[in-house]
Structures are given as structure tokens and as C-alpha cells.
Copies of this chain bind each other. A is one copy, B any other.
Amino acid sequence: MTYLDVARIKEDFPILRREVHGHRLVYLDSASSSQKPIAVLDAMDQMYRTSYANVHRGVYTIAEEATAAYENARTKVARFVNAPSTAELVFTRNATEAINLVAYTWARANLREGDAIVLTHLEHHANVVPWHMLAAERGVEVRWIPMTPDYELDLSNLDALLDGAKLLGVSAMSNVLGTMPPVRQLVDAAHAVGALALVDACQYVPHNVTDVQAWDADFVAFSAHKLLGPTGIGALWGREALLDAMPPFLGGGEMIRDVRLDGFTPNELPWKFEAGTQPIAEAVGFGAAVDYLSALGMDAVRAHEKQLTAYALNALLERFPRTLHIYGPLDVERRGGAVSFLFDEIHAHDVSQVLDEDGVCVRAGHHCAKPLMRVLGVPATTRASFYVYNDETDVDVLVESLAKAEKFFLG
């Protein structure tokens, strides 16, 4: 059964018509950043060509149009993750800034020396470094939920880890292994000890039906550029009561209600956290991206990716039964479409270079998850990741090209 008409979808992505080294582009690096459909590019271009102005500031027609477009995009994105209110959906620079926002405001207002934060070995640097910075500044302890040998979180010691914790930070889907931790279970465990739960949903939102209320999370961070949207914008969803009680983050225009020589009063949510001129066209692109995905249906997107990932795992294991090692769960029910692997004797970088000759784009490196790489005991992996515009032919090209790489380096 096919869930998406990939041939038709491919036509919506101009870059996929490009050739590299005489080959059609086979883009398998969407976990790093996704490509953009015409609908997204046109939405932004059209705004700039017909109704661009700064938002929330002007009385004139195009300023009203721009403001409506910006806030309309917020509503779309909020709905896409089932946020109960647009007041809870803050546009940020990217997912990284969203997490830093929580670290700089909520955490610095609430955490004291001796408090603990619990993270997992799966985390991306975006959900590690802000907490390292806080830990160094405040004497906060960072604890780690380890990984089982089959690449799942090891929750056997969860209660002890959460004891005395104020925050649990967990990625809803690993960008390296594809692992999807049991978010709701972890959130419940955090709440049971009075801790808050922050979900790094940067890899999850683009590929799944997301429901922040079903997770019962407190904060959820994600980026537009990974879900067919533009660079320069991300989002933080947070519970209204929490956001309301938090001190502001960046100071400046828009985030204020009043400024005097001796102080200021912050604005209402969500604008309290949106200092300075917002990523206006980017918000419009973000909205167009979630529209595009909603039209495909996130259920169908997930089903398509499960099917394709199963096909890829199978193809890799069949073709390279002895030389290639896959890092991540093999059951597609429990994982997303980011597939990390390594040849025993060839460095990830070199593999990627050879693949590029065939127009195949994969990522080689530590994937901004160096703690995880240390746990895995490898300096780098090669990662192929799939999205709505990929099909089995793309996987076939990947496998053929990998075979070439193997031949080139191992003879």
C-alpha cells in the first residue's frame, strides 16, 4: 500500500530537479534540514512582493495584512501540534533558541544549587549545552538516562534518577538513532516527582501527528526548517501558566507593554517572548509548511516513512550483511526515519564523499550528539534520513552507491 504519491510530491520540490555530478539529486539528509516545496517558497515570496511590512506596529493596510498573516501562521502552527491556545506558541529563532529560552528564564528563576536536571543519552547538543551552561553557573546537577544495548532508553533506574529533579529533558525522537522514547510515560514520571518535562520535538513534529496535550508536557521545542519550512524560525510551546510566570528572555521592542527610564512592564503572551522584529516572512513560510504537511496528512506521512524505513533497513542489511553496522532500533514501530550506519573499515566522511559523486546526500559526523557518539563508541556515523519526497528508488540508489564506496575503499 502506498500512503503518499511521492512522484507527485517530488514535483513540488524544485531542488529535486537539480543534478549533481550528472546525477539526479537524492536528498537523504532531511533530519539535518528538509527541502522546501514551492508552496512554502511562494508564500514567503508573495508576502514580500505584495504585503510586507513590520507587524503589530502600523495602522496602514499592508501592515494589517502582514500582522494578520503573521498571527495566522501562529494559529496554524499551534493547531499543528494541538496547542490549546495561540498564547502558548512562541516563535523563536530555532529549536535551539526555544530550549535556551527555557534555560535562561524558567530554569534560572527556579533552579538552585543542588537541584537536578535529568537528560537522556540520546539528546542533541541543543538539549545538552544549555543545561551544561546552567549547571556550571548554578551548581545544578545533570543526570543521564542511559541507553540499552538495543538503542532504547534504559528506564530501569528512572525513579532514582528523577529523585530530587526539577526538570526532565527528553528528545521525542533521536536524530541519530531514530529511537522514539515513551514521552508520555516519562512526562508522567517527571510530574510524579514534581518536575517539569521539556520535550525536544525537533525530529518528531516533522514526521508524526504531534499532540502536546496528549504528551501532557510542559515545554515543547521544534524548528520550521526540518518540516519543509524556512530557516530562521522555530517554536516553543509552553503551558500558559508557566510562560506567564516566567521572566522575559530578550528585551526590546514588541515584548513590552511599557518602558520607562527606570524599568519596564512586559507584554502579554506570546509576544512577551518575541523581542524585536519577528521572523515575519519566515512565520508565513512556517504556516505554509504545516499546511502542506496537513494536506498530506501526518498519519500518512508517518505510515509512508515507516514503510520506507523498513525497506531501507532491509536493503542495507541484505546487501551488506557483514560489513555494515546499523545504529538504532530495527523495529519501525519504535523508530523514525533517521538511519545511522557505519562500515567497519570506512570512515563516515569518506562514505559520504563517494555518495556525493552519485548525487546522494547523506550526513556524516557526530550529528550534534557527541555524548551519544561517545556512548556508541564511534566518532561519527553516516546517516540517511527520509521524508515525504523520498521513495524506494532513492533507497536503491543509496544502496548501489554504498556498494561503490565499499569497493573503492576496501577494494
Contact = CB atoms under 8 A, between A and B. Distances in A.
Q: Which of A94, A129, A136, A254 has the most CB of B within 10 A?
A: A129
A167 B362 CA distance: 47
Contact of A278 (B57, B231, B255): B231
A48 B36 contact: yes
A246 to B, nearest CB: 13
Nearest to A230: B281
B252 A100 contact: yes
Interface range on chain A: under 10, 10 to 19, 20 to 34, or 35 or more? 35 or more
A391 to B, nearest CB: 19
Interface string A255-292: 11011111110000000000111111110000000000
A15 B48 contact: yes
A404 B130 CA distance: 56
Report copies per complex. 2
Interface of A is mostly: mixed
B18 A253 contact: no
A96 B253 CA distance: 8
A45 to B, nearest CB: 6
Contacts of A364: 58-59
Contacts of A49: 14-15, 41
A58 B361 CA distance: 8
Q: Which of A25, A225, A231, A254 has the most CB of B within 10 A?
A: A231
Interface string A367-382: 0101100100000000
Interface of A: 14-15, 18, 20-21, 25, 29, 32-33, 35-36, 41, 44-45, 48-54, 57-63, 93-97, 99-100, 103-104, 124-126, 128-133, 136, 142, 144, 223, 225, 230-234, 247-248, 250-256, 258-264, 275-282, 349, 352-353, 355-356, 360-365, 368, 370-371, 374
